[in-house]
Chain A
Amino acid sequence: MFLQQLINGLAQGSLFALIAISFSLVWGLLRMVNFAMGEVYMLGAYAGWLVVMYATPNLGVALVAGFVIGWIVGWFIEKVAFKAMRGVPHIASLVCTIGFSFFLKELASALFRAETKSMPSYYSDTAFTFAEANISYLQIIMVVIAVVMMVLLQILFYRTKIGLAVRAVALDYRTASLMGMKVDRVTSLAFSLSGALAGFVGVLAATYYNAVNASMGFVAGLKGFTAAVFGGITSIPGAILGGYLLGAIENLSVKYMSSGYRDLVSYFILITFLLFRPNGILGKKAKL
């Protein structure tokens, strides 16, 4: 039982970890949060669902659709909430993305109606059983994807020219732009990429939970942010670590309290870390 909870926790943790990476991509660059990240994830899930229901039952295509939708929405949010608002205090941008979060959620619920759509299962067969705990193929796939994503992003950041530009901008926005770097393009890219990642995870989550609905984004976004803060929002490995820890803790805590209180654990972790260790477990010391 314990082992099963742990395995479920790790699978779910992969989802948290991937959303957390989305947050830390933007945070690392601009010290900003896209509050609508959860809603991008939700839109990705709908995109995946639409593909599977009406086009092709191929999960790969659905994942690509989530990725593309997320990219577009992330790109658009950057244009409106950040680029158009240069010179306005950061917090106004945050409020603007809060507006986006509400807008997208209500839009989805108006377009697709309030009821939960059911997403067919993929790879849900048990891959192997280990001390009475079942591990499905999907769970393995999710963990692999999360780890691969982390590695890819690390390579992107530390081994490529784009990554160098991104890190330069993250280090010092003004200087980077004075030195003629295309700061605008770099920020736009980071936003789109983080959106794409969120959209992609949305499809994954829809497949894992077999469900899509308009309000799935809010909790996912908040949990993803919690995971990012937990592990250290300034670093991608931190975000991954935070995601897995959060998934494990949440699933194991169900043993000790009624399931209605399950989300409380995450929110307590969020508040505690914000207050006492805002740089998270791994994060470098950074000014808030």
Chain B
Amino acid sequence: MTLRNVYASKEGKAIGMGGLAVILLVLPRLLGGNDYLLQVATMMALYVVLASSLNLIIGFTGMYSLGHGAFYGMGAYTSAILSVNLGWPFWITMPLGGLLTALVGAFLGLATLRLRQTFLVFGTLAFGEIVRILIMNWSSLTRGPMGIPGIPPPKVFGTELTSSTHYYYLILVYAILMVFAIFRLYYSRIGRAWVAIREDEVAASSMGISVFGYKILAFTISCLIAGLAGAFYAHFVTFISADQFGMGESFLILTMVALGGTGSIAGPIIGACILIVIPEAFRFLAEYRMVLYGAMLIVVIVLKPEGLAGIKGLFMPTTGGRRRTTLFRREPKVAAVKAGGSQ
């Protein structure tokens, strides 16, 4: 039995997942109370969610967004402003942050529905910049370039979550729930509709799938999840400012998706973990760490356009009607003989 067969078998998968769960649970112990490493792990969980949510747009539905950092920031700012200015509790501001972001995402999806590929990339990029400029300059609301300090930590059963361990568990639970939700959506009627749209919009619409509706749904859910992530982030770091949610952030999230592999569940998770670990592992490279990011994206896209966890994804179901794959792929070597005609 090869290693791959072990992974593919039901038992193998159960053992793998179980093992992963145990490791995640006892991680604070394993790290022996090293706060810094625990915070890295927390950020990793947060970026796993962000990358997975962007994958919903890119990998599942075949659209593009370079504005994800802005959505992330919108959730963060909404939740932070509501809790700092109005004193509302985290458990109310967090969902509100998500909802507002989802609303804006739905609207952006609606507006950019007609844009394709390159133009969609630039449209969402411009949108992200608009959001950043607004945050920067709307000082009465956002305190502009000064940022928002002193964001209160969330309370659970009356006690404030203050230690890194608490945050780790909180965000871990959130991340697992979100990835699980994305997984279930992907392998459902909705996910099928998304992939059908990605593969061929015309065919999808003549199969009765509302291209319009499902594209907006993808944008909305993706932005909801990113907005929630922003809220968690804001209350985790307790200080936010506009420059944390600019183009660089959108780029980072996109890189995670492209590096890990678009269109699979495991891809963005792997991508996020790698790109969070690398800067930490390569601290000695100092400012060249960021150069490495860019170089990695280039190399991976050129050599393996489908990303690291491509078709033969580690945790991907490989039997039955469940095979899915990635977006960036080479055309088949031998193209099918196609009859002429314009349609």
**Residues on A facing B (Cβ under 8 Å):** 32-33, 35, 80-81, 84-85, 87-92, 94-96, 98-107, 109-110, 218, 222, 225-226, 229, 258, 260-261, 263-264, 267-268, 270-271, 274-275, 278, 288
The residues of B that contact A268 with a CB separation of less than 8 Å are 130
Decide yes or no: A106 and B123 within 8 Å by CB, A92-B305, A261-B137 being known contacts.
Answer: no
Asked whether B330 lies within 8 Å of A94 as measured between CB atoms, the reply is: no
With a cutoff of 8 Å between Cβ atoms, the chain A residues found around residue B288 in the complex are: 106, 110
Interface on chain B toward A: helix, strand, loop, or mixed SS? helix
Q: How far is the CB of B39 from chain A (nearest CB, A)?
A: 23
- Is A264's CB under 8 angstroms from B251's CB? no
- B298 A100 Cβ-Cβ under 8 A: yes
Q: Which residues of B contact A (CB under 8 A)?
A: 64, 66, 111-112, 114-119, 121-123, 125-127, 129-130, 133-134, 136-137, 247-248, 251, 254-255, 258, 286-288, 290-291, 293-295, 297-298, 301-302, 305, 327-331
From A33, A96, A103, A275, contact of B118 by CB (8 A) = A33
Partner of A99, one of B116, B301, B331: B301
CB pair B123–A95 under 8 Å, yes or no, is no
Give A96 to B294 CA distance when docked, in angstroms: 9
* Distance from A95 Cβ to chain B, minimum over Cβ atoms (Å): 6
* 20 pairs, CB–CB < 8 Å, chain A vs chain B: A32-B118, A81-B302, A84-B302, A90-B117, A90-B118, A92-B301, A94-B121, A95-B258, A96-B301, A98-B121, A102-B290, A102-B294, A106-B288, A106-B293, A225-B122, A263-B129, A267-B126, A267-B130, A270-B123, A274-B119
Q: Is there contact, CB below 8 Å, between A106 and B291?
A: yes
Please name the 3 residue pairs, one residue from A and one from B, whose CB atoms are nearest each other, closest first.
Answer: A103-B294, A99-B297, A106-B290
CA distance A88 to B301 in the complex (A): 10
| A88–B262 CA distance with the chains assembled, in angstroms | 14
Beyond A89-B327, A106-B288, 20 additional pairs, beta carbon < 8 A: A88-B305, A89-B328, A89-B329, A91-B64, A99-B301, A101-B294, A102-B251, A102-B290, A102-B297, A103-B294, A103-B295, A104-B294, A106-B287, A109-B290, A222-B122, A260-B136, A261-B137, A263-B133, A267-B130, A275-B114
A88, A229, A275: which contacts B329 (Cβ < 8 A)? A88
